[in-house]
């Protein structure tokens, strides 16, 4: 269940992103909803509990709620706007139901739920959903585990059959081998998201310090390695029997369905599954701190971090919303106290506040990462001074107006997709028993007052004790804010009663053949969104489409060039993104803080960015506030202040962010891989943010000149998606006609690096828990209906699908990684082929062998008939999900302008897909899987990985973190090592998720 962002330890351009955040789906303004309740059904019958319908144009989610005799709650939202269905099964069990010594088990079990059941073969769940044109995943947090699919409407019955089979028929399909493989996968996930991630252990350190020993929140969801090693397959089976009964679950279905249809299928597939043991809600008192608890640890980081955490209240507590407001005022944006006093004052890389809440407790959190010259002790004083400043400052009308408007806008946007609406209903039902709880949430947000905010500050923060965490660079314990003064006290802990004794597995008895997979209905007819085009006299190309599902408008400007333009003067690399950062600051009329305030009151956003091929301007607004938002857009686009003060601050932050990249294995891998691919002297071999040398050379005058020269309508495309017609929006954009065009000359395409033979490159990341692997070569530029598109079809079963050969081998068969794959990524001028993974350090050489084996085997043996049919079915039916949201529509239209595509290009792609033959696929594999001319690059602990890599038969070149050669060493055995026949992977398995998202 989601909630406000927790402190996401970001550094500049999201370099320090943390793992799982809990984000609560919140509600929109609702007037009165119509609720119809029925009389009680007879015993043994499904009961209609309520029907909630929309009245007028209010923003809410209509639904019907039922309860089956076995206790399963079914919530149905009917929405025929797109031919898709989202199915969510949420079990009210997360890591809070675990026991001491068995942490991480709820999440581990989530992995096991994808390993097959009585009527669904090993790894078939992902394969079936994928070939149905759908996408799926599962996630675990402290309080719940959910499993979900988004599929074309004709696959509804298949999705329900799959979910029911693992709810009622899992355990006989569980084997010791599956258990061991998934345990390794979870360990790899921990390595990737915690142990190999800067600040990755911060959250679990906070938790075990804040909460009493044995408290359900005193460990993190991912768990500890030693606990994962301790559990066995019987623990898994008992966990399933205790918590995975229908009476502890909610089935929520939203989309192109009817309630009658869903209830009938739910009764068929779920109705016979027996109830599980009773599950009672937990309620625990908030932790009581009698003193500030100082705790610290050392990490492989550049910037130390301090975090101050006060215990607060659970979700939906009356004081939750006022505490949210308090967090926004103290550290939520550019107008906040921490931003002004620390970030803008150039004392900290980042400083912010947040108030994440869960079912049992909440945490008011202040975070700061000091810039060099400032200590963690300094930062602690600054954080405490910010609280004192708030006491004097108080709460303003502006504070409340901004908070409430931003909240409403966020909810409107969250309801733009069927999956968003369905997951909102599921969350509210699971934690409150009321899918329509959003109306109460709205009331709570609208009713919050200044006095409420001051009251909760005095009650939970003022003069109260906190956990104060210091994360310091390795070997520098003296940098902590204060000496550790807390050790975990196990005295007084009383183990809970055994909840797992005497559990029995009672299978459902059916009157139909459950082993027979449901036949899908006819594929839905998919229509490309109708669109309009208009060219302005100054060169802007406009394309738009109406989307009236929510009352918003999205504008997306794309200016050709970006980082690519820096090829005119590579000594200034990074200037495009620095200019974009400056455009997010002061304008001639307003400060950045004033603009931020105005936008928040409107519930709007305007942001500038720059990437490798283009500069962008993104605008989001509610229809009712569009005119005011466009006035601010005009001010920001055409009247930037470009102040020296802003420039000096942003340049300093940029330089520190670049220096920090040395602590980021993934960033190092991507940067060095690009340098190897493109070659010395190519602009794309230099990071988009620039280097220390190039950024140091940039002056404010350089930025102004770059803006005047390249920020031009002559290279601008504009995409408009929203609840507005062409003749309504274009007059409002008349100010764009005043934008004077300039002649923008694109740099000549530089020569790409040549690869004469496959080489292996190593970048040392001392004591890294994992190795980042990149394998590839420069393939071909983008072509929507040519060989590039066809090569993507070819690669789908090799490295692009959920159950691709590469992922099944490295993840499912070997347990080397949390996720692996391959892809072609083309632009107008170039496009690499890349295979990638993060693997355990001690299997780095073996992982390279398996990568090369799979690529070579696919090139030599080609695709199977079964794989070809799977690819055609999966990609062909996925069109149903292609144009649902405003973002998806905008992306589609932007590609049409960027690549000058014909309106019927999608139809041509579908024709290619359906007609492509096995022989064509195999010919493409032989041509484009050039195993003899690929660069193999690893970022990892050289001492651990180099000896094994040197035995593989490739030339080995050591590089520094900037991609410059250190030592070139040639090893020339007879041939690269091949895997033996015992390591051959299976081809009928699934991939899962990476970093909380579906992996593909």
pLDDT above 50 for 18: no
pLDDT above 50 for 994: no
96, part of any domain: yes
CA within 13 Å, CB half, 518: 20
243, part of any domain: yes
Q: How far apart are CA 43 and CA 587, in angstroms?
A: 68
pLDDT above 70 for 738: yes
638, part of any domain: yes
The CATH number covering residue 902 comes to: 3.30.830.10
261, part of any domain: yes
Confidence of residue 5 (pLDDT cuts 50, 70, 90): very low
Last residue of a domain, one of 738, 769, 796: 738
3-state secondary structure 715-775: HEEEEEEECCCHHHHHHHCHHHHHCCCCCCCCCCCCCCCCCCCCEEEEEECCCCCEEEEEE
Q: How far apart are CA 410 and CA 415, in angstroms?
A: 9
Q: How far apart are CA 924 and CA 76, in angstroms?
A: 45
pLDDT of residue 523: 82
Confidence of residue 245 (pLDDT cuts 50, 70, 90): very high
pLDDT above 60 for 763: yes
pLDDT of residue 17: 32
Contacts of 903 (CB under 8 A, 6+ apart): 528, 896
Same domain, residue pair 697 and 782:
no
Q: How far apart are CA 823 and CA 780, in angstroms?
A: 12
Same domain, residue pair 188 and 60:
yes
State the residue range of the domain holding 658.
532-738
Pairing of β 541-546 and β 716-722: parallel
Same domain, residue pair 551 and 683:
yes
pLDDT above 50 for 807: yes
Same domain, residue pair 711 and 776:
no
Q: How far apart are CA 608 and CA 198, in angstroms?
A: 27
Same domain, residue pair 917 and 958:
yes
Choice between 527 and 431, residue whose per-residue pLDDT is larger: 431
- Quick one: which of 580, 635, 614 has its CA closest to 718? 614
Task: Read off the pLDDT of each residue in 385-409 and give the average, rounded to a whole number.
Answer: 95
pLDDT of residue 35: 61
CB distance 807 to 799 below 8 Å = yes
3-state secondary structure 819-841: EEEEEECCCCCCCEEEEEEEEEH
**pLDDT tens string 481-538:** 999 999 999 988 888 889 999 999 999 899 999 999 999 888 887 778 899 999 999 9
**pLDDT tens string 834-866:** 999 999 999 999 999 999 999 999 999 999 999
Choice between 646 and 15, residue whose per-residue pLDDT is larger: 646
Last residue of a domain, one of 707, 738, 769: 738
Least confident of 152-161, 455-464, 869-878, 924-933: 869-878
pLDDT above 60 for 38: no
64, part of any domain: yes
Tell me the pTM: 0.89
Same domain, residue pair 466 and 557:
no
Same domain, residue pair 858 and 733:
no
Confidence of residue 967 (pLDDT cuts 50, 70, 90): low
pLDDT of residue 6: 30
pLDDT above 60 for 803: yes
| CB-CB neighbours of 749 under 10 Å | 13
Contacts of 485 (CB under 8 A, 6+ apart): 291, 292, 293, 294
**pLDDT tens string 535-555:** 999 999 999 999 988 899 999
Question: Which residue is associated with the tokens 């409420």?
Answer: 452
Q: How far apart are CA 375 and CA 789, in angstroms?
A: 53
Confidence of residue 47 (pLDDT cuts 50, 70, 90): very high
Same domain, residue pair 672 and 819:
no
Q: What angle do CA 348, 456, 31 make, to 5 degrees?
A: 105
- Quick one: which of 334, 341, 346 has its CA closest to 585? 334
Confidence of residue 877 (pLDDT cuts 50, 70, 90): confident
pLDDT of residue 697: 98
Same domain, residue pair 763 and 725:
no
pLDDT of residue 33: 52
Task: Read off the pLDDT of each residue in 315-332 and give the average, rounded to a whole number.
Answer: 97
15, part of any domain: no
647, part of any domain: yes
Q: How far apart are CA 274 and CA 509, in angstroms?
A: 9
**pLDDT tens string 629-662:** 999 999 999 999 999 999 999 999 999 999 988 8
pLDDT of residue 197: 87
Our count of domains for the chain comes to 4
pLDDT of residue 988: 35
Choice between 1 and 296, residue whose per-residue pLDDT is larger: 296
Same domain, residue pair 264 and 148:
yes
Same domain, residue pair 443 and 567:
no
7, part of any domain: no
Query: Which of 193-202, 346-355, 895-904 ranks highest by mean pLDDT?
Result: 346-355
For 944, counting Cβ atoms within 10 Å of its Cβ (0-12 exposed, 13-18 middle, 19+ buried), the class is middle
CA within 13 Å, CB half, 508: 27
**pLDDT tens string 78-137:** 999 899 999 999 999 999 999 999 999 899 999 999 999 999 998 899 999 999 999 999
Q: Element (H or E) spanning 708, and its range?
A: helix 700-710
Choice between 30 and 187, residue whose per-residue pLDDT is larger: 187
**pLDDT tens string 490-501:** 988 888 889 999
Choice between 180 and 306, residue whose per-residue pLDDT is larger: 306
Same domain, residue pair 829 and 880:
yes
């Amino acid at each position: 269940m989601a909630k406000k962002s927790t402190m996401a330890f970001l550094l500049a351009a999201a370099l320090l992103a943390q793992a799982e955040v809990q984000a609560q789906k919140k509600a929109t303004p609702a007037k009165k909803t119509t609720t119809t309740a029925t009389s009680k059904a007879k015993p043994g019958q499904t009961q209609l509990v309520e029907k909630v319908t929309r009245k007028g144009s209010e923003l809410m989610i209509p639904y019907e709620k039922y309860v089956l005799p076995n206790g399963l709650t079914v919530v149905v939202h009917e929405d025929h706007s797109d031919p898709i269905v989202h199915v969510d099964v949420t079990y009210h069990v997360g890591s809070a139901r675990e026991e001491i010594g068995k942490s991480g088990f709820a999440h581990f079990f989530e992995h096991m739920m994808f390993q097959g059941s009585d009527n669904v073969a090993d790894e078939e769940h992902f394969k079936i959903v994928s070939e149905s044109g759908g996408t799926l995943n599962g996630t675990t947090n402290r309080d719940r585990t959910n499993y979900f699919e988004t599929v074309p409407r004709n696959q509804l019955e298949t999705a329900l059959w799959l979910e029911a089979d693992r709810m009622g028929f899992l355990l006989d399909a569980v084997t010791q081998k599956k258990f061991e493989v998934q345990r390794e996968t979870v360990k790899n996930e921990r390595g990737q998201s915690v142990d190999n991630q800067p600040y990755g252990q911060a959250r679990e350190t906070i938790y075990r310090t804040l909460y009493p020993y044995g408290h359900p929140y005193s460990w993190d969801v991912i768990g500890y390695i030693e606990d994962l090693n301790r559990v066995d397959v019987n623990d898994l089976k008992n966990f399933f029997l205790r918590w995975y009964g229908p009476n502890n679950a909610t089935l929520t279905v939203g989309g192109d369905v009817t309630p009658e249809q869903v209830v009938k299928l739910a009764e068929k597939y779920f109705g016979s599954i027996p109830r599980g043991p009773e599950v009672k809600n937990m309620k625990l008192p908030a932790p009581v701190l009698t003193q500030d608890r100082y705790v610290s640890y050392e990490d492989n980081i550049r910037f130390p971090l301090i975090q101050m955490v006060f215990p607060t209240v659970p979700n939906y507590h009356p004081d939750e919303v006022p505490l949210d407001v308090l967090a926004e005022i103290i550290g939520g944006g550019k107008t906040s106290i921490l931003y002004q006093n620390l970030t803008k004052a150039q004392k900290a890389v980042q400083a912010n506040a947040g108030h994440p809440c869960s079912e049992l407790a909440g945490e008011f959190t202040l975070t700061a990462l000091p810039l060099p010259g400032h200590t963690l002790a300094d930062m602690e004083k600054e954080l405490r001074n910010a609280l004192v400043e708030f006491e004097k400052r108080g709460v303003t009308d502006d504070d409340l107006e901004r908070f409430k408007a931003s909240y409403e806008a966020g909810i409107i946007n969250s309801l733009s997709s069927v999956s968003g609406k369905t997951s909102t209903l599921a969350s509210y039902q699971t934690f409150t028993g009321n899918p329509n709880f959003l109306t109460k949430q709205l009331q709570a947000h609208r009713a919050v007052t200044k006095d409420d905010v001051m009251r909760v500050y005095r009650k939970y923060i003022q003069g109260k004790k906190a956990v104060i965490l210091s994360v310091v660079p390795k070997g520098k314990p003296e940098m902590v804010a204060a000496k550790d003064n807390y050790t975990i006290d196990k005295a007084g802990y009383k183990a809970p009663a055994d909840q797992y004794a005497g559990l029995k597995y009672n299978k459902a008895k059916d009157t139909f053949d459950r082993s027979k997979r449901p036949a899908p209905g006819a594929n839905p007819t998919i229509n490309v969104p109708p669109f309009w085009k208009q060219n302005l006299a100054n060169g802007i190309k406009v394309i738009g489409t109406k989307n009236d599902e929510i009352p918003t408008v999205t504008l997306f400007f794309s200016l050709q060039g970006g980082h690519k333009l820096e090829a005119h003067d590579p000594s200034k690399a990074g200037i495009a993104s620095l200019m974009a950062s400056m455009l997010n600051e002061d304008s001639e009329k307003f400060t950045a803080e004033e603009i931020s305030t105005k936008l928040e009151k409107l519930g709007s956003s305007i942001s500038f960015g720059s990437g490798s091929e283009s500069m962008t301007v993104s605008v989001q607004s509610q229809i009712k506030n569009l005119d005011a938002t466009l006035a601010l857009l005009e001010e920001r686009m055409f009247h930037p202040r470009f102040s020296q003060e802003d420039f000096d601050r942003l340049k300093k932050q940029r330089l520190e962010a670049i220096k920090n990249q040395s602590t980021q294995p993934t960033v190092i891998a991507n940067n060095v891989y690009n340098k190897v691919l493109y070659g010395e002297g190519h602009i794309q071999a230099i990071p988009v943010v620039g280097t220390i040398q190039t950024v140091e050379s940039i002056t404010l005058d350089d930025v102004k000149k770059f803006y005047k020269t390249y920020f031009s309508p002559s290279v601008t495309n504009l995409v408009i998606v929203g609840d507005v017609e062409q003749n309504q929006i274009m007059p409002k954009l008349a100010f764009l006609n005043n934008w004077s065009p300039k002649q923008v000359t694109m740099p000549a395409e530089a020569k790409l690096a040549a690869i004469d033979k496959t080489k292996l490159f190593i970048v040392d990341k001392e004591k890294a828990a994992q190795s980042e692997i990149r394998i590839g070569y420069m393939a071909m530029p983008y072509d929507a209906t040519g060989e590039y598109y066809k090569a993507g079809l070819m690669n789908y079963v090799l490295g692009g699908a959920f159950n691709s050969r590469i992922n099944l081998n490295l993840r499912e068969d070997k347990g080397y990684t949390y996720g692996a794959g391959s892809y072609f990524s083309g632009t107008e001028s170039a496009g690499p082929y890349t295979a990638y993974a993060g693997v355990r350090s001690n299997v780095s050489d073996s992982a390279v062998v398996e990568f090369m084996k799979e690529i070579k085997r696919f090139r030599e043996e080609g695709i199977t008939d079964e794989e070809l049919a799977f690819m055609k079915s999966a990609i062909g039916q996925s069109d149903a999900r292609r144009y649902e949201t405003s973002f998806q529509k905008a992306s589609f239209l932007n590609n049409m302008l960027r690549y000058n595509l014909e309106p019927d290009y999608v139809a041509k792609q579908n024709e290619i897909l359906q007609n492509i033959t096995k022989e064509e696929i195999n010919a493409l594999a032989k041509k484009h899987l050039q195993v003899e001319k690929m660069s193999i690059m690893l970022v990892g602990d050289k001492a651990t990985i180099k000896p094994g890599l040197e035995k593989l038969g490739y030339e080995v070149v050591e590089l520094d973190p900037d991609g410059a050669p250190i030592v070139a060493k040639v090893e020339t055995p007879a041939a690269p090592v091949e895997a033996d026949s015992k390591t051959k992977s299976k081809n009928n398995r699934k991939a899962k998720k990476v970093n909380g998202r579906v992996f593909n």
